[in-house]
Amino acid sequence: MQTENNASFARIDEAAALAREAQALYGAASSAVRSALLRGLADALERDAAQLVAIADEETSLGAARLNGELARTAFQLRGFAERVEAGIANRHVDDAAVPGAPPAGRPHLTRVQLPLGPVAMFSASNFPFAFSVLGGDTASALAAGCTVIVKPHSGHPELSRRVHALAARVLREQGLPEGVIAFVDQASREAAVHLVGHADVAAVAFTGSYQGGVALWRAANARRRPIPFYGELGSINPLVVLPQALAEGVDTPAATLAASITMGCGQFCTSPGLIVVRDDADGERFAQALAQALSAQKPHAMLTSAMRHGFEGAAAHIASQAGVRVRLAAPADDEQSAAPAPRLFETDAQTFIANAALHEEMFGPAALIVKVRDEAQTLDVLAAVEGSLTVTLWGAQADTPENRALAVAAQRIAGRVLFGGVPTGVAVCDAQQHGGPWPASTQPQTTSVGYAAIERFLRPVALQDAPQWAIAATSGMAVA
């Protein structure tokens, strides 16, 4: 094991050295160079789409339709960052002209600029083999900021990761850029992953994955002699509140919509709704029955890895074993022999949920927990018991009432994105998007890992005082052709 770790450490050291050497050139590269790279990567993904999707389907069982859509999203995202780099998103200047006299009325000439942090260690996610992997949003936003990237691929799709990195390396060669702009560490162990986070040449870390793995790496990032930013997305139960108004026209349609969201991608979405809050009344019970029936008709595909399936079964069994929990939809007796897990649905009351922290844990898979509440006050108490979440969805809160205002405030307190309709699965890539939330949803709730504001994670502000014009121009993205 020690010999294997030593070899992994050596590969990481080599990749980090390449990224550090490339940073000097790429960090000073013009907006035209960065945008051309992003567009070139998008074009290359689309040219090799058929081959890449076939490999991805073989390794993940996600299906060609889903994977083609994800590849298209990834290319769209790369081009979107290219457009914003050209528009100057990474080179914004705030300029305050000099004012004669002493402070506070007087001041020197100050120009606030943004500089790339430096090499970013990017940990690929399991559940999005294109959009959160080698050329996914973390890589795209880091490249847009002028940062080189050290990719640590996920073990759930190793061959796809190698092929996509080879594609990226080809684009770098074609554009005359050093290979260290997108370095690659193949199949590093847990110890090697910690070594990567602690490497002196790494300036920031981007991570999407499990709470346990993320916390271990977050601690490593903060235990360094010089701690670095760790941008981690760690998990979320994504409460969905069903108010009585949402069931005024019946329970079947909302139940079917929710069942499809819970089982989308076999429940392996970070925004999958895992906590359903509904009133403890006749309509609430009809909705629970309809949801159980709709879930029983869903046919999820196999999970990404056997370890993930094992983790899901353990998490579902843990919820089912808690006092005060009722099983509304159980797995059939032969479920363990099936490649795909059957959906699960559990139920408890508000007091039990609030008192038992075990019920606040994520079940990463096609399962959800219903919490029955008496009234608005209990709904607020349930949301307050949720530490942090990527999303909260409110169904039936369209009217401007004191109760709905209070609910919206409670939702915004714990979530990075609040929906007033629809389902949380599906995260648009745009300027206004926020994909992050209070701990444990993410380690830096003021940042997003989806959308074009994600670039801000990898830029550091610097104020230039009484600087000559050449010094200001050097940060404008026009310095190197």
Q: Which positions are catalytic?
A: 233, 270
Starting at the edge strand found earlier in the chain, the sheet holding 94-96 runs 94-96, 110-116, 459-465
Residues 6 or more apart in contact with residue 288 via CB below 8 angstroms = 278, 328, 347, 370, 372
Residues 6 or more apart in contact with residue 1 via CB below 8 angstroms = none
What backbone torsions phi and psi does residue 84 show, to the nearest 5 degrees?
Answer: -75, -30
Q: Which two tokens stand for residue 400?
A: 């401007």
Cα-Cα end-to-end distance for the chain: 47
d(CA 46, CA 166) in angstroms, rounded, equals 14
d(CA 21, CA 23) in angstroms, rounded, equals 5
d(CA 395, CA 473) in angstroms, rounded, equals 50
Contacts within 8 Å (CB) and 24+ apart, 320-325:
320/344, 320/346, 322/348, 322/352, 322/356, 322/358, 322/359, 323/352, 323/356, 324/348, 324/349, 324/352, 324/356, 325/352, 325/359, 325/369
Q: Are 195 and 14 in contact (CB under 8 A)?
A: no
What backbone torsions phi and psi does residue 255 show, to the nearest 5 degrees?
Answer: -65, -40
DSSP string, 132-159: TSTTSHHHHHHHHHT--EEEE--TTSHH
Name the amino acid, one letter, at 334: D
